[in-house]
Structure 1
């Protein structure tokens, strides 16, 4: 896959641009906690940024499908750099909390949707020769690689943000996030040759939103649960490390959690699976709930790191399965938007989880924050099990119904087996 002509020309700048995604929440948390003295306030500011990203991100994905990635990326990263700079200035000036919320909203809304755009480029690259088994297999491998890359950024990002913020000053982590987003985003936008073609629409014809698909809505709800795991674990790990008197260890503990996911993503992409991707999604999500249920009972940082590693092993398989499924549920002109709905759902869940965990930590102690990922992921699993029929692509459902009427077995779609 990595020998695909032109792949590295967009993968390298994309890595630089997506690394800050994992730094933004941690950077806000560290800065606002230092300047305003409350995990509740800090997690709420981070939550505002995440909610804005969740709501606006899919709209930027929709615009990228229509007008091209570069036309959307360039103004987006410029707005992001200015917004983060404003947030830093307000926090250091000990401005009222409401002003931090106002600054966090555009900072989150302008987070570039690099992961979704890279996935759209892989689809365009492998689908150029037509819909065959080989491109479908390539897309499946590419999505596994992208999930590993995402998790690698979640390993490095929190550690980098924590290290810079604690060794230089609390604002330096956010400043580094803005600089990397700007440089990486502009470099990625400049690689126009690998970008998918703009979707030309007939006059007067309105493109249906990817969210019109019931399967996309179900996956977005499931990814919302995954986001609550990210947000609540991030806040709770920081509070737990603080309570243990080892604040600098928070980034490392969270990095181990993400490292488990990265390891699982590598293994997932190396296996030829016999189970359908729908079954793999439900199984990996169930394992995520099981892993999260142990975090609250850990007595120390070492035990928490080990439990986080085990919990993280279920993250990448869940994300890979979800992104593979959503690609089969929407038309070509809405794929970037569909990916951003899932990414946005993670951001919204991150906001919800971070806020809930922050309030619990302030009121009842660090360990209680780890109850939030169990609740969030548990609700996501219940929805997946109850509505799993929506994860089958519409064409496959129709073929299965027709085959059942004829008394013949239906053949699953190639992409659904990726």
Structure 2
């Protein structure tokens, strides 16, 4: 059936009411789609770690290992808008099944190659470029499956964001366990099997096969970026990505200063765990104000939450303080996805979500790369979070131009 799009950005949250996650998961197809999607997303958390082990086993230097893992992440980030555009034009089956098959084949080939040579690097880049747009496709399906009910869509997005954060906790641990107990090749082959199985399950589902976007109004290659407000949201979330990416380096620096190596992994893990909690709390309850108000308020709180960490607290205190930006991060992410979905022009919703995924992931890569040059401490995290809040604040009075999109699904 054909359903109307979500309400415009400034008013969409006004009628939100509290809704339980059980009600969302009881909706036909939602629970199975979420499970399959997150199985398919496990490679996002597993592949970089598995590549580090594979390259290390082949005698690659630390710099080579890092470049190989970074190449995969950057290629995957850059390909998401393009695969999203393909989904908007041809449906979800080709980018999901085709992309996952290409990515799995390329990663499997790496296990038979010398990771220190260029053919392996080419395969890693191809694997990243083929990474299926599971996140974009699921978020394009959810509003239709939930019949555009604002409270349930918000809850579903929050639940999805929290589960996604779990991928980045479980994925690296699983890859490390496989690499250390069996072999690095086994870890990478597991990535290919798990990722392919999840993506094919989503592609084979009835909602995904039947989903069709509304035709685009024009052939403008940048149509997904044209709506007023879209570029502002993307720039702000790029800055959010920089803040989170810089945390990895800041955690390592803090661990060195206090001679507490455990802090290197503990700080990012604590941010993820607090993020899961914050995301679930935000999605479960109704909050006053419009979605635009939520967007600006959460961005401001995210910037303020980094201030105590600028004092370079000792390890245990840092672990407690990181819960503040972590708990705000996933609600901020949830609102960002809702905003992009609302603003997307007809026929561009999957691509628009892909641009947001790309903006965040490119920010993560830049934050990690720049973290070492920004000096010790959490200054880059705080500066990037402040930049995100100011970007939204400066443009707060500019009119948004939300679009409506209908998508026959089931």
TM-score range for the pair, normalised by the shorter chain length? 0.7 to 0.9
Residue 116 (structure 1) aligns with: 136
Q: Helix, strand or coil: the match of 2:322?
A: helix
What is the RMSD computed on CA atoms of the aligned residues? 3.2
Q: 1:296 deviation in Å?
A: 6.3
Residue 64 (structure 1) aligns with: 87
**2:214 maps to 1:206:** no
1: CA distance, partners of 2:387 / 2:204? 41
Q: 1:380 aligns with which of 378, 388, 407?
A: 388
**2:109 maps to 1:95:** no
Residue 350 (structure 1) aligns with: 364
For residues 165-176 of structure 1, the aligned pairs below 5 Å read 165-170=179-184, 172-176=186-190
Residue 83 (structure 1) aligns with: 106
Q: 1:76 deviation in Å?
A: 0.5
Q: Against the structure 1 CA distance between its residues 86 and 388, is the aligned structure 2 distance closer, same or farther, given a 3 Å change threshold?
A: farther
Q: Against the structure 1 CA distance between its residues 196 and 240, is the aligned structure 2 distance closer, same or farther, given a 3 Å change threshold?
A: farther
2: CA distance, partners of 1:137 / 1:167? 44
Q: Against the structure 1 CA distance between its residues 94 and 155, is the aligned structure 2 distance closer, same or farther, given a 3 Å change threshold?
A: closer
The answer as to whether partners of 1:47 and 1:350 remain within 8 angstroms in 2 is no
Residue 317 (structure 1) aligns with: 331
Instruction: Name the stretch that deviates more: 307-316 or 228-237.
Output: 228-237
For residues 267-282 of structure 1, the aligned pairs below 5 Å read 267-282=281-296
Taking structure 2 as the reference length, what is the TM-score of the superposition?
A: 0.80
Q: 1:342 deviation in Å?
A: 0.5
Q: 1:166 deviation in Å?
A: 4.4
Q: 1:320 deviation in Å?
A: 1.0
1: CA distance, partners of 2:140 / 2:186? 33
Q: 1:26 deviation in Å?
A: 4.0
2: CA distance, partners of 1:99 / 1:297? 46
1: CA distance, partners of 2:132 / 2:81? 11
1: CA distance, partners of 2:50 / 2:319? 21
The answer as to whether partners of 1:158 and 1:254 remain within 8 angstroms in 2 is no
1: CA distance, partners of 2:49 / 2:105? 19
Taking structure 1 as the reference length, what is the TM-score of the superposition?
A: 0.79
Q: Against the structure 1 CA distance between its residues 311 and 158, is the aligned structure 2 distance closer, same or farther, given a 3 Å change threshold?
A: farther
In structure 1, list runs of 5 or more residues that go unmatched.
397-418
Q: 1:327 deviation in Å?
A: 1.5
The answer as to whether partners of 1:158 and 1:251 remain within 8 angstroms in 2 is no
Q: 1:136 deviation in Å?
A: 2.5
The answer as to whether partners of 1:124 and 1:196 remain within 8 angstroms in 2 is no
**2:358 maps to 1:334:** no
**2:76 maps to 1:53:** yes
Instruction: Name the stretch that deviates more: 74-83 or 45-54.
Output: 45-54
Deviation track 1:333-372 (CA, whole Å, cap 9, x = no partner) reads 2111111111111111111112223x449xx7xx45x443
The answer as to whether partners of 2:346 and 2:403 remain within 8 angstroms in 1 is no
2: CA distance, partners of 1:118 / 1:21? 16
Deviation track 1:182-226 (CA, whole Å, cap 9, x = no partner) reads 111111111133555323648x95266211223221111112122
Residue 127 (structure 2) aligns with: 107
Q: Against the structure 1 CA distance between its residues 305 and 89, is the aligned structure 2 distance closer, same or farther, given a 3 Å change threshold?
A: farther
**2:270 maps to 1:256:** yes
Q: Against the structure 1 CA distance between its residues 196 and 313, is the aligned structure 2 distance closer, same or farther, given a 3 Å change threshold?
A: farther
The answer as to whether partners of 1:62 and 1:336 remain within 8 angstroms in 2 is yes
Q: 1:138 aligns with which of 135, 141, 152?
A: 152
1: CA distance, partners of 2:259 / 2:53? 15
In structure 2, list runs of 5 or more residues that go unmatched.
1-23, 405-410
The answer as to whether partners of 1:10 and 1:194 remain within 8 angstroms in 2 is no
